[in-house]
Chains A and B, each alone.
Chain A
Amino acid sequence: MSAALRLQGLCKSYGALKVSDGVDLAIEPGEFRAVIGPNGAGKTTLVHQVSGLARHDSGRILLDGRDIGALAMPDRVRLGLARSFQVTSILPGFTVRDNVALAVQARSGSSFRFWRDAAREPELNEPAAELLARFGLAHRAELPAGLLSYGEKRQLELAVALATRPRLLLLDEPLAGTSHAESREVVERLQALRGSLTILLVEHDMEAVFALADRVSVLVYGRVIATGTPDQIRADPEVRAAYLGEEAA
């Protein structure tokens, strides 16, 4: 059991629709894995099941060999899992800094503290400031997060996810809707993370996927039809027919 994340026969249906149809996946520690697939293939639902936002019907989810399938999302997060959302999910009324500081707080001692002003705790603010600087948001720290531009919100979500110091990071289309310049920045930042943690990236941007991923898995109609290096995937005729060809057409 050396895999950082292993999925065994994962199944989930919405009514008659099989969204995950026996998904098997093994991601090595430190690996950068991309999952691609056409719209509606079940990528987001897969991320939901791994993170605990949605329940799988059958199969197993192993995090570092430990079955986490029965755990609620917060418990999985405490074991070192973090995620971003395809539809941006932040605290719009909190400042940009507090969005990150709250994520730091989740991993820094008890939150059943009732007296001290949390906004003045250096042990929360310093790591938050560091992350904001890394994601180019330092000058926005005091702004309510709801007022950020779309691209900045995507950056903030990444900073929030990293603030929980995850071992496994699930990213659901972090590049969707960002400008070309912004997406280049994000790719650079993800590149810098390589090796320090295990990453599962769901993304439609092929250029980014082939630049970042160690290996790519292709999901079609809830099934993994191929897994391989970017070069292998590019060359795979089945993948070209099912997915890449579709894009070219």
Chain B
Amino acid sequence: MSARLRGTLLPVSLFLALALVPVFAKLGPESFILAIATRLVILALAAMSLDLLIGYGGLVSFGHAAFLGIGAYAVGILSSHGIDDALLQLAAALAGAALFGLLTGLIALRTEGVYFIMITLAFGQMLFFLATSLAAYGGDDGMTLSSRSQILGHDLLRSDAALYGLSLGALLLCYLLCRRLTASRFGRVLSGTRENRTRMEAIGFQPFRFQLVAYVMAGLIAGLAGFLFANQTGFVSPATMSWQRSGDLIFMVVLGGVGTLHGAVAGAAAFLLLEEVLSHWTEHWRILFGPLLVLAVLFARGGIAGLVGGRRG
């Protein structure tokens, strides 16, 4: 099998499997299966946007869940004021994510390596504590949504299958967009900067601008994921953007294979599977994640995508 074919095999089978979920869900506890699958697709979307930063930009953000939280809170806050129109909520989610990405990116991208990790973590924590202090919106406890977002006045997303379809559509669309993006002129400058920043400056590029745009774009996609996440859980709380969640997203990216985009989907699936299995076994399941990650890094450098083959760029 050629490397190119192997490279497309995994993403195609992943998306095919996801597309078949609603069919097979009918055979079992449908809403339970759809809930898990929707959660998987949404976390995959967030993880994929993080892979854009980690895998292509070499920017390990430890605060990516903040964008998930912004998207979720846009839904929660607007809906608590009686605004449940999906387009308005989505617009607010994306605007909030873009603004936060721009402001924090302008500062965080002045740093590199460990400092970048720490400063993105700090910004994420700032937003987390801001959310806990929002007494009007449930503070620590968060708030329950009265209904899912309305599309043009219709409660179309009330059906679990519809919400799943929307989420999967969003994942597929963003995946295709990111694939174009990473192969474009812009994407090459981004990856080039990861490999050798000085070289890029020496041929006339200003890496900061490209990194900032990538950072905002990744934030936008994660904000979209947050919008979907609130609709899936029907509940919004600071936990949506805890640092543990940011760590989980990094875990998914590494487990699935850094710098592949579709690896994030495989990583999210593996993560949720592990969570499911391990949490039945012991309540301290998170402790087992650490050693597993170390093993994954040591023995499967390219993650799941690397095992199946065809690592890009």
Q: Give residues in A with beta carbon < 8 Å to B.
A: 51, 53, 72-74, 77-78, 82-83, 85, 89-94, 98, 102-103, 105-107, 110-119, 121, 160, 163-164
Chain B contacts with A in 137-193, Cβ cutoff 8 A = 180-181, 183-189, 191-192
What residues of B have a CB within 8 angstroms of the CB of A114 in the complex? 180-181, 184-187
Cβ contact within 8 Å between B313 and A93: yes
Cβ contact within 8 Å between A113 and B189: no
Cβ contact within 8 Å between B204 and A106: yes
**Of B180, B196, B204, B206, which one neighbours A107 at CB under 8 angstroms?**
B204
Cβ contact within 8 Å between B185 and A116: yes
Q: Is the interface of A mostly helix, strand, loop or mixed?
A: loop
Bound-state Cα–Cα, A92 to B313, Å: 11
**Of A91, A106, A116, which one neighbours B195 at CB under 8 angstroms?**
A91
Cβ contact within 8 Å between A111 and B196: no
Cβ contact within 8 Å between B204 and A164: yes
Cβ contact within 8 Å between B180 and A102: no
What residues of A have a CB within 8 angstroms of the CB of B187 in the complex? 114, 118
Cβ contact within 8 Å between B184 and A102: no
Cβ contact within 8 Å between A94 and B202: no
Nearest-CB distance from B169 to chain A (Å)?
20
Cβ contact within 8 Å between B202 and A83: yes
Cβ contact within 8 Å between B183 and A119: yes
What residues of B have a CB within 8 angstroms of the CB of A73 in the complex? 201-202
What residues of B have a CB within 8 angstroms of the CB of A110 in the complex? 185
Task: Identify 8 residue pairs between A and B in the complex whose beta-carbon atoms are under 8 Å apart, listed by A's number.
Answer: A74-B205, A77-B204, A93-B195, A102-B188, A114-B181, A114-B184, A160-B203, A164-B204
B31 at the interface (CB under 8 A from A): no
What residues of B have a CB within 8 angstroms of the CB of A89 in the complex? 196, 198-199, 202
Q: Give residues in B with beta carbon < 8 Å to A.
A: 180-181, 183-189, 191-192, 195-196, 198-206, 210, 213, 313
Cβ contact within 8 Å between A113 and B204: no
Cβ contact within 8 Å between A82 and B186: no
What residues of A have a CB within 8 angstroms of the CB of B201 in the complex? 53, 72-74, 77
Given contacts A73-B202, A102-B192, A103-B203, 12 further A-B contacts (CB under 8 A): A74-B204, A77-B204, A82-B202, A89-B202, A91-B196, A91-B199, A94-B191, A105-B185, A107-B204, A113-B186, A116-B185, A117-B180
**Of B185, B191, B313, which one neighbours A111 at CB under 8 angstroms?**
B185
Bound-state Cα–Cα, A109 to B297, Å: 40
Bound-state Cα–Cα, A51 to B203, Å: 11
Residue from A85, A112, A119, A164 with most neighbouring chain B CB atoms (10 Å): A112
Cβ contact within 8 Å between B198 and A53: yes
Cβ contact within 8 Å between B195 and A82: no
What residues of B have a CB within 8 angstroms of the CB of A111 in the complex? 185-186, 188-189, 205, 210
Nearest-CB distance from B293 to chain A (Å)?
24
What residues of B have a CB within 8 angstroms of the CB of A102 in the complex? 188-189, 192, 200, 203
Bound-state Cα–Cα, A102 to B313, Å: 14
**Of B180, B203, B313, which one neighbours A106 at CB under 8 angstroms?**
B203
Cβ contact within 8 Å between A91 and B198: no
Q: Can you name the residue of chain B whose Cβ is closest to the Cβ of A78?
A: B204
Bound-state Cα–Cα, A236 to B189, Å: 48
What residues of A have a CB within 8 angstroms of the CB of B313 in the complex? 93
Cβ contact within 8 Å between A113 and B184: yes
What residues of B have a CB within 8 angstroms of the CB of A116 in the complex? 184-185
What residues of A have a CB within 8 angstroms of the CB of B185 in the complex? 105, 110-114, 116, 118, 121
Nearest-CB distance from A161 to chain B (Å)?
8
Bound-state Cα–Cα, A73 to B197, Å: 12
Residue from B186, B191, B195, B199 with most neighbouring chain A CB atoms (10 Å): B199
- Of all A-B residue pairs in the complex, the 6 with the closest CB atoms, nearest first, are A77-B204, A106-B204, A103-B203, A113-B185, A91-B195, A118-B185
Given contacts A74-B205, A78-B204, A112-B213, contact A90 B199 (CB under 8 A): yes
Cβ contact within 8 Å between A105 and B188: yes
What residues of B have a CB within 8 angstroms of the CB of A78 in the complex? 204
Bound-state Cα–Cα, A161 to B249, Å: 39
Cβ contact within 8 Å between A94 and B181: no
Q: Can you name the residue of chain B whose Cβ is closest to the Cβ of A73?
A: B201
**Of B184, B195, B204, B205, which one neighbours A117 at CB under 8 angstroms?**
B184
What residues of A have a CB within 8 angstroms of the CB of B196 in the complex? 89-92
Nearest-CB distance from A217 to chain B (Å)?
23
Q: Can you name the residue of chain B whose Cβ is closest to the Cβ of A107?
A: B204
Given contacts A89-B196, A91-B199, contact A118 B206 (CB under 8 A): no
Bound-state Cα–Cα, A113 to B203, Å: 18
What residues of A have a CB within 8 angstroms of the CB of B202 in the complex? 51, 53, 73, 77, 82-83, 85, 89
Nearest-CB distance from B67 to chain A (Å)?
19
Nearest-CB distance from A43 to chain B (Å)?
17
Bound-state Cα–Cα, A82 to B189, Å: 18
Nearest-CB distance from B239 to chain A (Å)?
34
Nearest-CB distance from A89 to chain B (Å)?
5
Q: Can you name the residue of chain A whose Cβ is closest to the Cβ of B195?
A: A91
Given contacts A93-B313, A114-B181, A118-B188, contact A106 B205 (CB under 8 A): yes
Residue from B180, B186, B198, B210 with most neighbouring chain A CB atoms (10 Å): B186
